[in-house]
Each structure stands twice: as C-alpha cells, then as structure tokens.
A and B are shown apart, each in its own frame.
Chain A
Amino acid sequence: MRRQLGARIALVAVVIAVSIWYLYPPAKTINLGLDLQGGIHLVLGVDVDKAIEAQVERAGDTAKAELEKRGIGVTRVERRGTSELVLQLGSPQSWDAAVKTTDEVLATFDRKEADQAAGRMVLALKASEAKHIRDLAVRQGLETIRNRIDQFGVAEPSIQQQGENRILVQLPGVQDPARAKALIGKTALLEFKLVDERTDAETALRTGPPPGTEVLYQRRVDKQTREEKKVPFLVQKKAAITGRDVTTARVSIDQNTSEPYVSVDFNASGARAFAEVTDVNVGKRLAIVLDGNVHSAPQIRERIPSGRAQITGGFSTDEATDLAIVLRAGALPAPVQVLEERTVGPSLGADSIRQGMVAIFASTALVFLFMLIYYRLSGLIADVALGLNLLLLMATMAGFHATLTLPGIAGIALTIGMAVDTNILIFERIREELRGGKTVRGAIDAGFSRAFKTVIDTHVTVLVSGLILFQFGTGPVKGFAVTLMIGIAVSLFTAVFFTRLLFDLIYMGQRKRETLSI
C-alpha cells in the first residue's frame, strides 16, 4: 500500500475536486428543507370511497335511463353501501330483458343477488374496477392539485403520491399558508341546480325534501356584525350542468357594486346544455352550487345561448382569484382531507439555520481543539480529516439532491463527534502498540490494520439504525438519517484512508524515527 502513494494522492485530489464541483455554489446546491426555509408540508388523504360512490351513482342513473328507454319499468335504482346498486323492477315479467340490459350497461358490475320473483337485483362493482377508480381518483387529484399550485405560483413545489391514497404536497416559501391550503383542499365541484319552487324550503326542512330534491344552504355573512346566516334552498338533486364543461374562469369587477365576481365560460356541450336548461326553465331560479354550498340563485330571465355564467357572492379579491384558479384547474375527483400539516414561517426557519450553524461551528471547534490537545500532531491530522469529512458530506448531499433539514443539522453536528471516533480507535491502538514495544512504522501499520475491523463493526451498527430511521421517518427526521448515514459512510474514507495517507506522507522515509506525536 505504501508504494502507491502517487495513486492515493491522486484519488484524494480527484475526490476533493469532484466534491467542490458538486458543491459550488453551496447556496444553490444545498437543498434546504421546509423547516429551514419555511413552507408548508401537507399530507392529504383522498376520500376515494366518495369517488367510487359517485361513479356507482352515475352508473345507476345511466342504467335507469337505458332500462326506461327500452320500456322496462323500474321503480327504484339506489346505491347501497359504497359500491352496490339495488335495482327494483316494476314487474318481474321484464326480468330477462332487464338482465340483458344490465349486463350490457353495467358491465363493470357483478350480479350479487337476484330475486326474480320479486324483480329485485343487487349489483356490486367489480373489485378490479373499484381499484381502478381509486387509483384514478388519486392520480387525477394529484394532477388537479398540481395544476392549481402551478397557477397559484409557487417556486419548486413538490407533489407526490404517498402510499395508496395519500398525496404529499410540499410548498417552500409560501407566505400565506391558510390561503394555499384552502386553494389545495377545495373540492371545487361546481354544479348548477334548478331550485324547486313547488315546495317551500322551510316546509321541506320540516317534512323532509320530496324525492329527487335536497336542501342546500347559502351562507351569508353580515358585513357589519360579521354574523353568519344560513339560508336554505330546496334544489333538484341532479345537477343541470356541472363544472366539467368549464373551459375557463376569470375574475371581473362588477361595475355597480365594485365587487369582484367570477365569470365562467363553457365548452360547446356545456353551452348547449346551458341553453336547453335556460330555455325550458325561464322564470325559475338556477342555484350555483360550489362544494355543496349555494353561492347564488339568480332567476333565469331568458334563454342563455352564450354559455357564460357569473358567480357572485360577496367575494374578496383573493377569494375570487382563487375560485377562478380552482374552476380552471377543475374539480377534485374526490374530496381530500388534511391528515398532517407542518408549516414553518420564514422567520423561524432563518432562526433555525442560524442556531444550527452556531451548533455545527461550536461542535467542530470543540472536537477540533480536543483532538489537537490530546493527540498533538496526530490530532491535527484527524482534524484535517474531519474537515474533509464535512466537505464530502455536504458534497454528497448536493450530489444526491438530498434535503438538509433542522434535524439534519443535528445529524451533522453528531457526525462531527462520531467521525473522529474512528481516529480515536486507531490512535489508541497505535499508542498501545507503541507501549508494546513496536517501532513507529510498525505501530502505525498494526494500529490501522487491527483497528479496521472494529471500525467496520461500529459503522455497520450505526448504519443499521440509520437505514431503519430513513425507512420510517418523515420529512425532517429523514433528513437526520440522511446526514448521519452519509457522514458515517464518508468517515470510512476520511478517517481511515485519508488519515493513513497523511501518516504515510509525514513518516515515510523517516525509517529511524523513534517518537510519534500522538
């Protein structure tokens, strides 16, 4: 090994050069975690069952329409549980025709129960289809959220699927977390529903809404008292038009009230549907419903052929802007729920960086001094190796695009203490060999080679817990595991290979040397 000095120096030089190349400039190459630069970390749970329910209901509607078209009387088509449809025929005579029709229309369902005598069947959504809907809901949800965030304007957002039905959203440096969260979490299901004028909403509340209708509320906030009032509306359950057909949405200001509103444009089929509905329902009211809340219920004065609608409802400019964004990006296929949130303000992040830097600095200084005093020249060698360790640690993080978090800083401070452990093991062994009567060169050789096995042992155990921590941890804690593992792995190179090289360089050619500064 001693003979290959040139090659070893070259290797170290290359490693240092590559490290600096990866690391330069540090401000850009080191990826700061949300806890250091401030930002939002959100874990959203997609309510995939809701997506399945919606799909099953739609399939039920289609089947009912098809059965009726073929002249098969149906008294009832209903969803039962999450993924089943209960179908009640008008008479058992049409059983065979109904079976044939449902086989065609509801191909993604299995017939679970069949009671021919009663003319009743239960159809269950196939498991593979349910899985498909679930996956699709998560994927579409992810895309929709990505769209919204892109339109909102966040630098370097990260949106990924986590597990089966969770979405992890990370937004660095967002100034108004509440607004961002509202924007992401809104389902934004836009529906236009005809108001049922036959029954008074109050009466419907007492007696229960008539079949095919439901009671939805409009929330009105009194500008002076800030008190909230809920006004009930009786509307038809089935939406006349939905937000699916929206092509674009933008904010405009009402000339009279100078309040912002959102105007929505529909595509051709949406415009046609809009024209048809407004044509036959002149004089009635059309409720504009967003996520189950009535925003307004203007009266249809005439047929509207243009396919353009206005959503008013006392918005602030921010609210109107965000509504336009979510309508453009489209509705989430299923509602989402915040399962976990970690938001750090920029000022706290800056404080953390400052304190973390102080800790790393103080820890380095203390360990540096200790090694120098205790092991003298050999201690200095270990200190140089420690410096190289820090450089390689940061460069590896930059190279792997790993994220530095606050616990990660703790990991670096800890690495400083642990990296010199390897040198202590070696140095103590060398001292022992010297006491045993070995020559300087012999003691160095024996010290390095005998300590090596132990060094490997100690590295393995720390790496084992580091790996498990990495597997398990979330965001910041993962950062801790990453810095710790990299630091420990790198110390094999710096504290063994590099230190040995320095020893060889210093003590080579001094065959007669009798003392070692250790």
Chain B
Amino acid sequence: MIELFRDSNFDFIGRRRWAYVISILFILAGLGSMVAKGGLRYGIDFSGGTLIQVRFEKAVSVDRIRHALETVQMGESVIQEFGDTREYLLRLPLAALSSEEVTRRTQEALSKDPELGKHEVRRVEFVGPQVGKDLQVQAIYAVLWSMAGILAYIAIRFDLMGGLASVAAIVHDVLICLSAMSLTNREMSLAILAALLTIIGYSVNDTIVAYDRVRENRAKKRRGETFATQINNAINQTLSRTVLTALTVFFSTAVLYFFGGKVLEDMAFVLTIGVVTGTFSTIYIAGSLIVDWSNWRERWVAKRKKAVAKA
C-alpha cells in the first residue's frame, strides 16, 4: 500500500505565523506589481476593444506588424506573439469606428505590406464599451454572490465562524491568483473569471473536509486537548485526502496548461495556481484563522471578567 502521509503529526497551527507571512509577502508582491503596472490588466472582455488573431504564412516580427499597422493609425495597439512567431494577437483600443471597419482596415494594412506575406484572420473579438462595463459589474456580483452562497452554506452546515474563516481563505486564494496573474503579466478575461469562480467553489472543499473532522473529533474529545490541538489533529488526519484530491485536479489543470492550447493557457494557469493555493489555505489558513479568532475572543472575555472583578 502506498501512503503519502501515515499518522502524520505536523504542527501546522503552531507554524501558522510563517504561513501568514509567506501569504502576505506574496500578495504584497502581487499588489505591488499591480500598482506598478497601473492596476490589474483587463482584457477586451472588460475594457472593450477589438482583438484580432492573425496567422501569417511565415515567421514575422512584432516590429514589422507594428510598422504595417502604423499606416492606418488606429491608436495604441498591443501586438503579442501567440504560440509561435507566425501567430499574433493584435489588440486595438475602442475607437469611433465600427468593429467591421477596424477589422477591415487592419487586414488591409497587413495585406499591403509585402514583407508580411499572406495572412489568415483566425479570430476576431469585439466588445463595445457598454458590454465591457456590464461585464465588469456582473463579474463583481458573480464573485460576491458565490462567496455569499458558500458562506451561507457553511454557516448552516457548521457555524458562522467556520463560514467566515472559509470565506477569508477564499479571499486569500483569489488574491493569490490575482497576484500570480499580475506577476506573470496575464490579463483578466471572462475565462479567468470562470477559473476564479471554480476555485472559489473548489478550494473550500478541503476546508469542509477538515471542519467535518474537527466536529467528529470534538465528540470524542480527550481531556486537556486545546482547541488548537484539535484543529491541528483534524488537519493532519485529513492531510492525505486534502493533498491527494488536490493532486488529481492539479494533474488535470497542469495538463490543460501544457497541452490545452494557447487559448486556454491563462485559464489553466489560474486554475493550477488556485488548486495549489487552495490546498495551502486549507492546511495553513482556514484552521489557523479560527484558532486565532477563538484565542482572541478568550483573551477578550478574560479581560472583561477581570475588569468586572476589579469593579
């Protein structure tokens, strides 16, 4: 029998401060890069604009394409290699022109340059300003609603404290994903949002498994066991399933990242990061927060009692 963790007894809760520090440092690095880059980069789904995916018959350079596009002057366009040097993504900002006109002019400009050779437009996406704004608002609602849904479910199934700690862990996971995106220069798109929502639903799974165990253990509580030990034991007892379930999902998302093609790459990236951070937050964050919260409450209650006694 292969066993990843047998009777493991790691002191996760005891080392929670380290976990906090690592998480906070990573998120700070992410936030720093967001600030340095002037905010999270939005893809055309949210910012509006035109995206054209072009495949040339031979390898061409970004400069050559930029030069060709300059002749039509359609504002600050972003030209990005997509997979190999024959395929490019052109991103054009919102303009007074209609989407047909933008596409037509771009194609004309590319055709005119003899050095670029023949090309094929493989994908055109245009999102108008209104739709982009609508999607932004809807995206925020979608994230908030799913968090609220999960908070409600855990609050009913377990308790409010568990629910709040789970949501805190989820917020942590989302922040880590956003930081990783900013650090690797990825854009926020609808597919990424889908990945984030999936992570929100998925990363709470392991947390639930651990909570369930805490409750089960509480029934057969041994004398002299502190709350922190209880939680630590529960995390250890569920450790192998936490890691194993994450591992199989990690296999799937990693495969998607490497073989799923360029269009799915960003989505797979966020899913992969999310699975890893979801496991991390189950082991180190969700339980630790409850311990810290209950410690803090105990101290507060003791202080109150002391104050009352003095009076």
Asked whether A291 is an interface residue with its Cβ less than 8 Å from the other chain, the reply is no
A-B contact pairs, 10 of them (CB 8 A): A343-B123, A348-B53, A363-B251, A367-B251, A373-B2, A425-B241, A461-B204, A461-B205, A463-B201, A472-B139
Taking the complex as formed, is A17 at the interface, i.e. its CB lies under 8 A from any CB of chain B?
no
Question: Quick check: A410 and B240 within 8 Å, CB to CB?
Answer: no
B19 near A: Cβ within 8 Å? Answer: no
Tell whether, in the assembled complex, residue B201 and residue A367 are in contact, meaning their CB atoms are under 8 Å apart: no
Collect the chain B residues with CB atoms within 8 Å of residue A373's CB. 2
Given A178-B103, A338-B99, A468-B149: A457 and B252 interface contact (C-beta under 8 Å): no
Within 8 A of A (CB), among B89-114: 98-100, 103-104
User: Chain B interface residue count: which class?
Assistant: 35 or more
* B289: min CB distance to chain A, Å: 18
A363 to B252, CA, bound (A): 5
Contact mask A359-371 → B, CB, 8 Å, 1/0? 1001100110011
**Contacts A345-B121, A428-B244; A472 near B138 (Cβ below 8 A):** yes
Find chain A residues with CB under 8 A from B251 CB.
Answer: 363, 366-367, 370, 417
| CB of A330 within 8 Å of the partner chain | no
> A432–B139 Cα gap in the complex (Å)?
42
Cβ contacts under 8 Å, A9 to chain B: none
Which of the segments A101-109, A295-303, A394-402, A473-481 contacts the partner chain? A473-481
Kindly list chain A residues whose C-beta atoms are within 8 Å of the C-beta of B127: 339-341
Q: How far is the CA of A339 from the CA of B284 in the complex (A)?
A: 45
Q: Contacting B256 at CB < 8 Å: which of A352, A413, A471?
A: A413
Say yes or no: B120 contacts A407, CB within 8 Å. no
Chain B interface residues toward A at CB < 8 A: 1-3, 53, 55, 98-100, 103-104, 120-128, 130-131, 135, 138-139, 141-142, 145-146, 149-150, 153, 157, 190-191, 193-194, 197-198, 200-202, 204-205, 208-209, 212, 237, 240-241, 244-245, 247-253, 255-256, 259-261, 263-264, 267-268, 271
Please tell me if the beta carbons of A366 and B255 are within 8 angstroms of each other in the complex.
Answer: yes
Most chain-A Cβ atoms within 10 A of its Cβ — which of B3, B135, B191?
B191
Q: How far is the CB of A420 from chain B (nearest CB, A)?
A: 5
Contact in complex: B193, A477 (CB < 8 Å): yes
Residues of B within 8 Å of A420, CB to CB, are 248
B263 close to A352 (CB less than 8 A) = yes
A239 within 8 A of partner (CB): no
Return chain B residues, CB-CB under 8 Å to A341: 99, 124-127
A362 close to B259 (CB less than 8 A): yes
Which residues from A are CB-within-8-Å of B264?
355-356, 359, 406-407, 409-410
Q: Which 7 pairs, one residue from A and one from B, show the smallest C-beta to C-beta distance?
A: A465-B201, A417-B252, A355-B261, A417-B249, A348-B122, A341-B126, A458-B205
Given contacts A414-B252, A461-B150, 13 further A-B pairs with CB under 8 A are A338-B98, A339-B128, A339-B130, A342-B123, A347-B120, A351-B261, A362-B255, A406-B261, A409-B264, A418-B248, A424-B248, A454-B209, A457-B157
- The answer to the question of A315 belonging to the interface, with a C-beta cut-off of 8 Å to chain B, is no
A460 at the A/B interface (Cβ < 8 Å)?
yes
A80 proximal to B (CB < 8 A): no
B120 CB contacts on chain A under 8 angstroms: 345, 347
Which residues of A sit under 8 angstroms from B149, Cβ to Cβ?
Answer: 464-465, 468
Interface residues of A (CB under 8 A from B): 35, 43, 45, 177-178, 181-182, 185, 337-345, 347-348, 351-352, 355-356, 358-359, 362-363, 366-367, 370-371, 373-374, 406-407, 409-410, 413-414, 416-418, 420-421, 424-425, 428, 431-432, 453-454, 457-458, 460-466, 468-469, 471-474, 476-477, 480-481, 484, 518
CB pair B209–A464 under 8 Å, yes or no, is no
Q: Measured between alpha carbons, how far is A432 from B6 in the docked complex, in Å?
A: 10
Residue of A35, A358, A428 touching B240 (CB-CB under 8 A):
A428
Are A464 and B198 in contact (CB-based, < 8 A)?
no
Smallest CB separation, A206 vs chain B (Å): 27
CA distance A454 to B214 in the complex (A): 13
Once the chains are docked, how many angstroms separate the CA of A421 from the CA of B121?
Answer: 41
Given A358-B259, A464-B153, A468-B146, CB of A518 within 8 Å of CB of B1: yes
**Residue B124 contacts which of A35, A177, A414 (CB distance < 8 angstroms)?**
A177
Residue of A339, A374, A428 near B131 (CB, 8 A) is A339
- Once the chains bind, are A421 and B248 in contact (CB under 8 Å)? yes
Chain A residues within 8 Å of B145, by CB: 468
* With known contacts A344-B123, A406-B263, A413-B260, A421–B249 Cβ distance under 8 A: yes
Q: Given the complex, which residues of A lie within 8 Å of B135, measured CB to CB?
A: 474
With A473-B194, A518-B1 already in contact, the answer to whether A359 and B255 are too (CB < 8 A) is yes
> Which B residues touch A409, using CB under 8 A?
260, 264
Chain B nearest CB from A130 CB (Å) reads 21
Question: Least Cβ distance of B99 to chain A in Å?
Answer: 5
Q: Taking A464-B153, A465-B198, A484-B198 as contacts, is the C-beta distance between A355 and B248 under 8 angstroms?
A: no
CA distance A352 to B157 in the complex (A): 41
Decide if B141 touches A425 in the complex (CB within 8 Å): no
Contacting residues, chain B, for A457 (C-beta < 8 A):
157, 205, 208-209, 212
> Inside 8 A of A182's CB, which chain B residues have their CB?
100
CA of A359 to CA of B263, assembled, Å: 13
Closest chain B residue to A40, Cβ basis: B124
| Contact indicator A356/B260 (Cβ below 8 Å) | yes
Question: Cβ of A477 and Cβ of B121 under 8 Å apart?
Answer: no
Decide: B245 and A348 in contact? CB cutoff 8 A.
no
**Contact of A454 with B212 in the complex, beta carbons under 8 Å:** yes
Does B150 lie within 8 Å of A464, measured CB to CB? Answer: yes
Contacts A367-B248, A410-B256: A338 and B194 contacting too (C-beta < 8 A)? no
Complex CA–CA separation, A513 to B138 (angstroms):
57
| With known contacts A338-B98, A345-B120, A469-B142, A458–B244 Cβ distance under 8 A | no
Asked, given contacts A340-B128, A471-B142, A472-B139, whether A414 binds B198 with beta carbons under 8 Å apart, the answer is yes
Q: In the complex, how many angstroms separate the beta carbon of B11 from the nearest chain A beta carbon?
A: 21
CA distance A366 to B127 in the complex (A): 38
Q: Contact check: which of A355, A458, A471 meets B209 at CB < 8 Å?
A: A458
Report yes or no: A410 in contact with B260, Cβ–Cβ below 8 A: yes
Q: What is the distance, in angstroms, from B109's C-beta to the closest C-beta of chain A? A: 14
Please name all residues of chain A whose beta carbon is closer than 8 Å to the beta carbon of B130 when the two chains form the complex. 45, 339
Q: How far is the CB of A471 from chain B (nearest CB, A)?
A: 7
What residues of B have a CB within 8 angstroms of the CB of A340 in the complex?
A: 126-128, 131
Does the CB pair A345–B122 fall under 8 Å? yes
With a CB–CB cut-off of 8 A, which chain A residues contact B124? 177, 341-343
Question: Smallest CB–CB gap between A431 and chain B, Å?
Answer: 8
Q: Are B209 and A418 closer than 8 Å at their CB atoms?
A: no
A348 partner residues in chain B, CB cutoff 8 A: 53, 122-123
**How far is it, in angstroms, between the C-alpha of A416 and the C-alpha of B248 when the chains are bound?**
8
Nearest neighbor of B268 in chain A, beta-carbon distance: A410
Residues from chain A with a CB closer than 8 A to the CB of B198 are: 414, 462, 465-466, 469, 480, 484
